[in-house]
């Protein structure tokens, strides 16, 4: 398994989670721009977690995890709902 690829994905996930926490921490709530950004962050997190799971599954079955590609947000969102 390509540890570098997984580390990159985990770094991205941590950054998005940090941003999500910052956005959610405002006691006055989110303005329109912050709500838009929150939706982008949530979609990007879904996409990253999906890619990480797919990479790990490929590695588990002896396939190259680096061949896994991020799926479009529209596909990932439909998958989870």
Tell me how many domains the chain contains.
1
Structural domain including 48 reads 3-80
Cα–Cα dist 50/36, whole Å? 21
Tokens linked to 59: 């590695």
- In tens, the pLDDT along 23-64 reads 999 888 999 999 999 999 999 999 999 999 999 999 999 999
Q: What is the mean pLDDT of residues 13-29?
A: 94
Indicate the pTM of the whole model: 0.85
Q: pLDDT band at residue 1, thresholds of 50, 70 and 90?
A: very low
Cα–Cα dist 78/65, whole Å? 23
Cα–Cα dist 57/75, whole Å? 18
């Amino acid at each position: 398994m390509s540890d570098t690829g997984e580390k990159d994905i985990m770094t991205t996930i941590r950054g998005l989670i940090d941003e999500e926490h910052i956005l959610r921490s405002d006691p006055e709530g989110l303005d329109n721009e912050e709500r838009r950004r929150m939706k982008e962050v949530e979609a990007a997190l879904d996409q990253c977690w999906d890619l990480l799971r797919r990479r790990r599954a490929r590695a588990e079955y002896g396939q190259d995890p680096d061949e896994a590609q991020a799926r479009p947000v529209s596909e990932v969102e439909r998958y989870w709902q």
